[in-house]
A and B are shown apart, each in its own frame.
Chain A
Amino acid sequence: MKGRVHKLGDDINTDYIIAGKNKRDTYDPQVIAKHLFEDLDPTLYPRIKKGDIIVAGKNFGCGSSREAAPSVIQAAGISAIIAKSFGRIFFRNAINIGLPVLECDTSGIEDGDELEVDFSKGVIINHRKRTTLPAKKPPQAILSIFREGGLVNYLRNHKQFEFELE
């Protein structure tokens, strides 16, 4: 996947991604997507174009277990998230819904850069800066969920967890 970068800082929590109050009345991510990052930067959502990539510092998605957080990011058209590290539950949730999340040192990536991401190999190319960044390669278990578009499809097809563990 290829996309333009929206650069965010450290410790972006799930309340900044989507505040609890917005998901009280509905859990349809399309409906609440307009509130994405509202309390962090209200001008961000209108700037997101389909395929764009979020790049953040450490601990992205810390806080609540709300799956709305990655779902709304996905619904807004974001194709991948790259961060120094992720909140644990956010990371799982993103994998489960088939939203690519990769860990790498993001300090050299800037707002507006063009990235090309190979999720299964864990390789990121920064076209504007002409650099290649190594990311942590996802384990097989994660890739097998991912290949089928997320855990919903995976379990619909397999009924049980069947993947090889390393």
Chain B
Amino acid sequence: MGKTIAEKIFSTHCKKDVYANDLVIAEIDYIMAHDGNGPLAIDIFRKMGGEKVFDPGKVAFVLDHYVPSPNENVTRIHDTIRNFAKEHNCQLYEVGEGICHQIMMEKGNIQPGGLIVGSDSHTCTYGALNAFGTGTGSTDFAAAMLTGKLWFKVPETVLINLSGKPVPGVYAKDVILYIASLVKADGATYQAMEFTGDYVTAMNMDGRFTFSNMAVEMGAKAGLFEFDDYTRDWFERHGINLENEPVKSDGDAGYSLMIQVNAGEVVPMIAKPHTVDNVSPITDVLDTPINQAYLGTCTNGRFSDLEIAHRILKGKKIHKNTRMFVAPASRKVYLEAIKVGIIEDMVEAGAIIIPPGCGCCVGACNGIPGDGEKVISTANRNFKGRMGNSKAEIYLASPATVAASALFGRITDPRTLL
């Protein structure tokens, strides 16, 4: 019987033919933790009797959630990670390098066909690079660090087939929010997603990262793409050698569900408070006043996201009632944006640039919204309290919609500014 991408990746990582719903113990290619969950993982590793990590070259820690440290407790948490990484000779990416997922990919730690676990639910972002990345908690992370392995149930796969041509003013984020409205927040629970179709093959890598990143918002374990010329080009541009064979699904692979989407009919979409599947076309929420706009996160903080927002903000002034925060996903993204003048124009327009990292996404520092305030954000989650204040309301949208809304101080359709 044919195999899905997920079944193939698990088969190579447990060295036998496995299919959906098999329980397996698989070898992990790379493991990553950040400052949000890392210290607990380190504690648990010690409690497991861990003395040495299984392979220091395959373990990385990233300081990205609470950066720069807002108080001495967080500094202590950062130091715990720094000390552990040093003691065990693991890779450490310091404050200011960027968001863990962006760093993992840019630094060449992710190979196509690989199996990666991270102490973060958005580890599924690596699916765009044809790798099975999946999130785990701290105990799983510690177990992987100790043994180089973890138990898994090989997931079934939901196939999303996208047709249609890209429409000006409508971006990958709009399409994935639309898909979330169809699949719902739990529609792909315990399963993997595969994205395919004409629309997908024409999509740039940053758009694919946005898609894969949001897979977990539908409950999925991974959000997978096939490897193609765009992927190859991405690896080349980042100076990363390909060490692994990419993985393709077989024509006769078995899927739990197939969904057809005509992406050419999708309009700018908004996820309204407080769930990601509470999605409607932007026309339903136009003119909602906005107090804070956030451009960044592992969903939409990459160069092309900044570029899209820049086109809208350049030479204009952000509305006086709106604060706009921008957090580039990595130092590399930040530098590229500086070099082409994007950052300068954004600062001129009134945006506040915060260091590469998670910024205000998870509500621990860098711009907590006030009581009753409305936020428009390019992030992946709008749960109540997500940004640090349960009395704030979060709307999720594309970088273009966020920039347009910042400009007018209310939710604005970016198509009117093209």
User: Which residues of A are at the interface with B, using a C-beta cutoff of 8 A?
Assistant: 11, 13, 15-16, 19-21, 23-27, 38-39, 58-59, 62-68, 70, 85-89, 92-93, 96-97, 139, 141, 150-152, 155-156, 159-161, 163, 165-166
Contact = CB atoms under 8 A, between A and B. Distances in A.
B138 A141 contact: no
Interface of B: 22-25, 36-37, 39-40, 43-44, 47-49, 66, 70-71, 73-74, 77, 118-121, 123, 135-140, 142-143, 146-147, 149-151, 185-186, 189-190, 219, 221, 275, 362-365, 368, 381, 383-386, 388, 390
A91 to B, nearest CB: 8
A45 B180 CA distance: 32
B137 A63 contact: no
B40 A67 contact: yes
B37 A67 contact: yes
Nearest to B382: A15
B137 A87 contact: no
Contacts of A159: 49, 146-147
16 contacts: A15-B381, A19-B363, A21-B363, A24-B74, A27-B40, A59-B185, A59-B219, A67-B37, A88-B219, A89-B121, A93-B139, A139-B23, A151-B48, A152-B47, A161-B151, A165-B22
Contact of B139 (A19, A59, A96, A166): A96
Interface centre among B120, B385, B388 (most CB of A within 10 A): B385
Nearest to A151: B139
B203 to A, nearest CB: 26
Contacts of B384: 15-16, 39
Main secondary structure of the interface of A (DSSP, over half): loop
A155 B362 CA distance: 32
A133 B151 CA distance: 29
A92 B47 contact: no
A36 B313 CA distance: 41
Contacts of A166: 23
A28 B151 CA distance: 26
Given A24-B73, A25-B71, A96 B24 contact: no
Contacts of B25: 161, 165
